[in-house]
Structure 1
Amino acid sequence: MISTSANEDDIPDNTQPQGFNPVKIAQVDYLGEQHTNSCTHRDLGFVGQVAGRWFAIYGDTLWCKPGVTDSSQDPEGFHGMVRDSIAECTDNALRVNFTQLNEDTPVAHPKQFVPYNEAWGESITTGFGGTSLCPVDEENSLLFFLVNQNSEGLVGAGVAQVQLRDGIPTVVKRYGDNGWWWNANSEARYGDVAAYRDENSEFIYGWGGAPTNIKDFVPGQYVYQVRVMASAAWDKSQYEYWWGRSAGWKNAPLTTFNKETAVMWGVGQGSTYYSPYYKCYFYVHFNNADISIRTAPTPEGPWAADVKVYTPTPIQGGFTYSPGIHPYLDPTGRSLTINYTNNNHIQVIKATFE
């Protein structure tokens, strides 16, 4: 049963900005479009680790026409796709390499990363939105994902266990009787907004949007939070849910969805990390058209107001969204390289801080 509180005026709004955001932008450089060892149009690009190696996870990955090597020269039309894909990062954020390619010639195209399971009513058309790889131990990482059955809508959010097999990141297990844990209709879509392994603790965090049966715009834009000790990542009973600043973390799944139990509102998908330069947590996201950073002393918040970083120019009037970050490129945190989606093109900027 979902409760949204009898009288919204009687409860605190924990999504409002609080505290001081220390981020000051000295310079932003547009680096260009990201290229791969294939030829595709794709979105997302959330960055995480498996066994110490960095990978980017993409959403819908549209193959360019056979023989096309430059996506800007791809003719109109549908040439094939997979619902998600994975590529290994390099020391240059403008270049990633897909780790799983098919046998198309002369240009091989990426295979699907999260496998569908027909026994669970899934097919090649089923979508799997993945938000980063969170290290569990030296061999395993946790992937949060959201199952989208298209005309049936969002079904459920879940986790998968990922390992390197012959050097290739591979989903070795999806958890839950139907391949997911949280019913999207009645529970928050944990992990769909952002996912993060905290460098300063043993916790993995996931942020997710409101249950889909909340139809009104304002309550439908609240973001909720879950966490688990990395050592217990595969045991759903060990997950804790944020019930607001007064109640804190509880083992009981969240059933009250409102501005008190939420941690943010209307932020869209983004990326979280701990800034060694500012010594606080970043949430990098789009605030309307602007790539922005908000900060907090802990992953639970409270989050300070956004600082604008950069405003991309939309390609052909398309959407800009979903920043992914590359913190490994500058361990000092003095700069942060950010990729984002611009109308199914992945573009990259580098922000340098004062």
Structure 2
Amino acid sequence: MWCAPGVTNFLEDTPGFHGMVRDSVSLLTNDPLTVVDLNLNDDYPVPHQKQLIPFNEAWGETNQYGFGGTSFCETDAEAATAALYYLVNVNETGGLLGAGVAKVEVINNTPTVTQRFGNKGFWWNSNTTAKYGDQCAYRDERSEYIYIWGGPPNSITGWPHSSYAYLARVKAEDAFDLAKYEYFWGRQQGWKSEVLTKFDAGTAVWWAVGQGQVAWNEYYQCYVLVHLSAFGDGAVYLRTAQALEGPWTPDVQVYKSEPIDGGLVYAGVQHPYLDPTGQTLVLSFTNNNHIEVIKVAFA
């Protein structure tokens, strides 16, 4: 959401709608409470951020389309290129269309989407395929792979099946080639190049997980998933695993944030670079358009 022209502190914003973008990009700093906004327009005296994932009118997209992005996953360090995974949804109808991948390149010191893949801007149709990358995307620093997690297709409804999450992976260098992706078919069948078509507890890797992020923790020597409650009620959870396919431990609640004005609390992110030892972990998340930050200390 944009503030009124000239406003530099959102707490001092004037009433009314002043414009918005569906998604944008900012630069993190060593202070988790400070970010530097990037990709700015020419508004004066205070510029506003522009749309990160561009709408494509040729695909019928309008500003009523949303792009639920997760993480930049580095594909080529020398070329400063990354893959961005996102879910396309239509706000007018509430329809989830599909999960897609965009190429991100650094242009004028700013991460910029230079290409979206697929005939309609997505690869995995949400009506028939898991929404890969919607819940989490992770460039595993201990291997050559990018791992992406997502919920079941739209056709899977009812509790608990609608809350399962499924896993795919690809070598980082092949992230923009759909044919190179592999899909996890559960512990008995493992990884296959065939797109997953069986959606149940046997092929799922998570259950009841809100949008979050995975990273390796040096202190515990395991992978840590940070995520918010799937119900948007403000609970912040951690779970761990020795392998990204799992098994994952049960959740441990580390914090509970009260939703602001009854809004949604979502999009948990961890910042392990702030403490490479892994003995503390800074987490951030969105609380009804406010970014909150907490620090977890491990005993």
TM range (shorter): over 0.9
Post-superposition offset of 1:313: 2.4
Question: For the Cα contact (< 8 Å) 2:97–2:126, is it kept in 1?
Answer: yes
**Corresponding letter in the other structure for 2:61:** E
In structure 1, the gaps of 5 or more residues are 1-61
- Give the structure, 1 or 2, with the largest relative contact order (CA under 8 Å, sep 6 or more): 1
Post-superposition offset of 1:317: 2.6
1:300-311 map, 5 Å: 300-311=245-256
Q: How many residues align?
A: 293
Q: Distance in 2 between matches of 1:105 and 1:125?
A: 26
TM-score using structure 1 length: 0.80
Matched, 1:315 2:254: no
For each residue in 1:105-149, what CA deviation from the matched residue of structure 2 results, as whole angstroms up to 9, or x when unmatched? Answer: 222111000111111111222211110100111121110011112
Question: For the Cα contact (< 8 Å) 2:234–2:259, is it kept in 1?
Answer: no
Match of 1:233 among 175, 193, 196: 175
Partner of 2:17: 78
Match of 1:194 among 123, 136, 140: 136
Matched, 1:182 2:127: no
1:1-354 map, 5 Å: 62-138=1-77, 139-152=80-93, 153-287=95-229, 289-354=234-299
**Corresponding letter in the other structure for 2:178:** K
Post-superposition offset of 1:315: 1.8
Question: For the Cα contact (< 8 Å) 2:69–2:84, is it kept in 1?
Answer: yes
Q: Distance in 2 between matches of 1:101 and 1:206?
A: 29
Distance change >3 Å, CA 263–CA 216, structure 1 → 2: same
Question: For the Cα contact (< 8 Å) 2:98–2:124, is it kept in 1?
Answer: yes
**Corresponding letter in the other structure for 1:95:** T
In structure 2, the gaps of 5 or more residues are none
Secondary structure at the counterpart of residue 328 of structure 1: helix
Post-superposition offset of 1:283: 0.7
**Corresponding letter in the other structure for 1:203:** Y
For each residue in 1:266-307, what CA deviation from the matched residue of structure 2 results, as whole angstroms up to 9, or x when unmatched? Answer: 111001001011000011012453211000011111000112
